[in-house]
């Protein structure tokens, strides 16, 4: 087991992202604070539109010019917000790798998978010959459990199955041995067997290389056995965070509890799955106070008077005005 370094690998403070649109400014990220240590796995969970991917794309400087980013994002103490493009080009793919949500569109369809991995390798190591890079690409495909890697390296992305494309994307992301790996919905649209294979690959990388991993997903079940800590996002904010055990067994926020209640259980549970009524709010029309208030089954009048801060409530940090009332109630 990798010994965790207490020094933060990534430290995010008051991150805010606002998009300038035809309808006016839309704040997608509203003051996110996160940190990750080397060798640690952080699961960021929430519904589509909660801001999970936008926050990480901001970290990587991959958002369009219409996005305004403020706050602080430090990688190994180096400030990334406002960093020059040349500096980010050196970091992306070398020190920070990213597994994109849809590997089919992330790959170039007119280049072989091997050629794209070679490109990623030689971009950060000009002294590496084409032959050496090709051999390394084959080794990387073998490392992520792709059968016949020498033959597969010469194939195009459309010739790979969904699970194989995802593993090839992981191979490209780890090609230059990054210290931080961001996996954006790495198991979406894959069957459960392939999901397990992908998570096994990520677990092996964390154990063998000590990579810090940020796992973005809408599925609490995916992070249950993979993450050390969980941050739950809703409408651009972190509404709850803590260790996996604490979030699952001692959550304080009604949104987190709703997500947990919606998980299917092998033992059948105590009844039918519970749905969270309603939909997430529009970025242009957030409700006053707590953004979850219109969908919350326990909301009171004070919940509409101010945005609840993220504060300690029992074993977790929760952004709910009533969090301390739930402190002794198991999730």
- Partners of 294 in the β-ladder: none
Res 263: pLDDT: 82
Confirm if 8 and 75 have CB atoms less than 8 A apart. no
Res 331: pLDDT: 43
Res 3: pLDDT: 47
Domain regions of the chain by residue span: 10-233, 234-326
Choosing among 3.30.110.40, 3.30.1370.60, 3.40.50.300, 3.40.50.620, the CATH entry for 10-233 is 3.40.50.300
Alpha helices by DSSP H, the chain: 52-59, 85-91, 103-106, 113-124, 130-143, 149-152, 162-173, 192-209, 220-224, 244-250, 254-261
Secondary structure letter of residue 129 according to DSSP: -
The enclosing H or E element of 15 equals strand 10-21
Tens of pLDDT, residue by residue, the chain (331 residues): 444 456 799 999 999 999 999 999 999 999 999 999 999 999 999 998 999 999 999 999 999 999 999 999 999 999 999 999 999 999 999 999 999 888 888 899 999 999 999 999 999 998 999 999 999 999 999 988 899 999 999 999 999 988 899 889 999 999 999 999 999 988 776 777 877 888 888 888 888 888 999 999 988 888 888 899 999 999 999 999 999 999 999 999 999 999 998 887 766 556 677 788 899 999 998 999 999 999 999 999 889 999 999 999 989 999 999 998 875 444 4
pTM over 0.85: yes
Res 268: pLDDT: 58
């Amino acid at each position: 087991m990798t010994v965790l370094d207490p020094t933060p690998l990534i430290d995010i403070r008051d991150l805010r992202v606002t998009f300038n649109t035809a309808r006016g400014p839309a704040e997608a990220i509203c003051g996110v604070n996160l940190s990750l240590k080397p060798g640690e796995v952080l699961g960021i969970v929430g519904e589509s539109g909660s801001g999970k991917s936008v926050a990480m794309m901001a970290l990587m400087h991959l958002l369009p010019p219409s996005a305004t980013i403020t706050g602080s994002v430090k990688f190994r103490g180096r400030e990334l917000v406002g960093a020059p493009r040349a500096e980010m080009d050196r970091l992306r793919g070398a020190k920070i790798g990213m597994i994109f949500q849809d590997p089919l569109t992330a790959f170039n369809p007119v280049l072989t998978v091997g050629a794209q991995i070679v490109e990623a390798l030689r971009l950060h190591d000009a002294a590496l010959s084409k032959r050496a890079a090709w051999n390394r690409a084959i080794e990387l495909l073998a490392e992520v459990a792709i059968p016949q890697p020498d033959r597969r390296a010469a194939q195009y992305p459309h010739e790979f199955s969904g699970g194989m494309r995802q593993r090839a994307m992981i191979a490209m992301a780890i090609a230059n041995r990054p210290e931080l790996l961001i996996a954006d919905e790495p198991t979406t649209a894959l069957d459960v067997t392939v999901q397990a294979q992908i998570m096994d690959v990520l677990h092996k990388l964390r154990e063998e290389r000590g990579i810090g991993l940020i796992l973005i997903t809408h599925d609490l079940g995916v992070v249950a056995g993979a993450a050390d800590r969980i941050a739950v996002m809703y409408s651009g904010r972190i509404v709850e965070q803590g260790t996996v055990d604490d979030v699952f067994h001692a959550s304080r926020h009604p949104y987190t509890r709703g997500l947990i209640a919606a998980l299917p259980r092998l033992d059948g549970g105590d009844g039918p799955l519970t749905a969270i009524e309603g939909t997430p709010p529009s970025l242009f029309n957030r409700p006053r106070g707590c953004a979850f208030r219109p969908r919350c089954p326990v909301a009171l009048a004070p919940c509409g008077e101010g945005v609840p801060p993220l504060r300690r409530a029992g074993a977790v940090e929760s952004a709910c005005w009533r969090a301390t009332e739930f402190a002794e109630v198991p999730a």
